[in-house]
Structure 1
Amino acid sequence: MTRRKLTSDEIELWRKVAKQAERLHAEIPQAVHPTILPKPKPAKAPKTRVDAFDLGSSAQPKPTRNNLKPTITEGLRANPVQMDARAFGRMKRGKLKPEGKLDLHGMRMNAAHPALVRFILTAQAQGKRLVLVITGKGKDRDEPGPIPTPRGVLRNQVPHWLSIPPLAQAVLQVMPAHISHGGDGAYYVYLRRVR
């Protein structure tokens, strides 16, 4: 909708009204009327270029979600390799057989942490190199809200426990297990040699 220009009669009528009107705050000096600014021009929206789509071609992938914090699995996979590269590759593909296994399914944190410490330190003392710690994937929580709650308490706590004393000196590498050994519900723990 465009603005209509005032006619000379309307301007004259406004001046008469303005002269007869009393000022609301007489103690404040009357300021000079500001100059009339030009009407702002609307900014044009940038034209988005749509690429041609040919039959048989695949659609563009959907943009990835922006997660504020990477998942535990992504964080462990991003860690640098501390062990032998060939052994790491075999472990990642599920070709190395774990020498020991600890199942923490159904345990609470106060029981799982001492069991994990005991298992890892005993396995290192026995000379084992690769062990499997099964945490389970955890239950989905029905707590809607603005703060996301991570799925699986033990699944999130076990990598942290393995990175702090007394287990940090025994653990060389932690990696999510291959699907044949439990996938995201288990971790490979590669232990240091006892010297």
Structure 2
Amino acid sequence: MAGPPDLRPRPRRRRPLDPEEKALWEYVTRSIQPIRPSKRAEVARVEAIAEVPPEPAADTPARIAKMMPAPAAPAPKPPPGPPPLAPLEPKMRRRLSRGAQVDARLDLHGMTQAAAHGRLIAFLRGAQGSGHSLVLVITGKGEAMSVLAGEGGRGVLRRLVPQWLGAPELRSIVLGFETAGRGHGGEGALYVRVRRDRGGRS
């Protein structure tokens, strides 16, 4: 008896493509992108990524501090001004009103401005060197309606002497000054407190 028939499918023979089918197949395959990129395409992609510049780092506090301009140097402190003038102490004023005498006196009557200024400075330096604490400078009252005419005009020294005594160059000698009492010339004279030499207190 013959065996069972062979039901397995027989392989189909491929027939060769004719020129028209072959041209169509080549056209189709050219438009298909491969699922797995070629090695050359992968290398090109890596090189393109390498050429992309890195993003700038975020500004940290230290980076911001470096970018900030340096603070300006503080302005130098101005030199200290001369010490303030001090008025007469109440105790000393009471003594003067009762007839107490000053340590020395200078009368500037009849002097020109230049002469009076030089004489005043020399007198105060001498008083400081002698250890005097209170001196009297007589300027004269001048006329009520006097006109400042020339070097020797009356009333000029009465106006200028307080300016000289308050000048910074005399602050190392003059501790203070004010109008004298009636017994010492009133408005025509000045009590001048002399600062002790070498920075001591009067």
CA distance in 2, matches of 1:113, 1:120: 11
TM-score, normalised on structure 1?
0.50
Change (3 A) 1:173 1:116: same
Structure 2: which 5+ runs fail to align? 1-83, 148-153
Q: How far 1:116 moved relative to its partner?
A: 0.3
State the partner residue of 1:126.
130
Change (3 A) 1:107 1:80: closer
Query: What is the aligned length?
Result: 110
Greater than 6 Å deviation, 4+ residue runs? none
Q: How far 1:140 moved relative to its partner?
A: 4.3
CA distance in 1, matches of 2:130, 2:192: 15
TM-score, normalised on structure 2?
0.48
Please identify which structure carries the higher helix content.
Answer: 2
1:155 pairs, out of 132, 155, 158, with 158
Please provide the CA RMSD for this pair: 2.6
Q: How far 1:84 moved relative to its partner?
A: 3.8
Matches within 5 A, 1:1-195: 81-82=86-87, 84-91=89-96, 93=97, 95-141=99-145, 152-195=155-198
Q: Which amino acid aligns with 1:119?
A: F
State the partner residue of 1:41.
none
The alignment-based identity, stated in percent, is: 44
Task: Kindly indicate whether the alpha-carbon contact (under 8 Å) linking 2:86 and 2:175 is maintained by their aligned counterparts in 1.
Answer: no
Task: Kindly indicate whether the alpha-carbon contact (under 8 Å) linking 1:121 and 1:167 is maintained by their aligned counterparts in 2.
Answer: no
Structure 1: which 5+ runs fail to align? 1-78, 144-150
Q: Which amino acid aligns with 2:112?
A: R
CA distance in 1, matches of 2:146, 2:125: 37
Change (3 A) 1:137 1:94: farther
CA distance in 2, matches of 1:98, 1:128: 9
Q: How far 1:119 moved relative to its partner?
A: 0.3
CA distance in 1, matches of 2:167, 2:135: 18
Task: Kindly indicate whether the alpha-carbon contact (under 8 Å) linking 1:124 and 1:170 is maintained by their aligned counterparts in 2.
Answer: yes
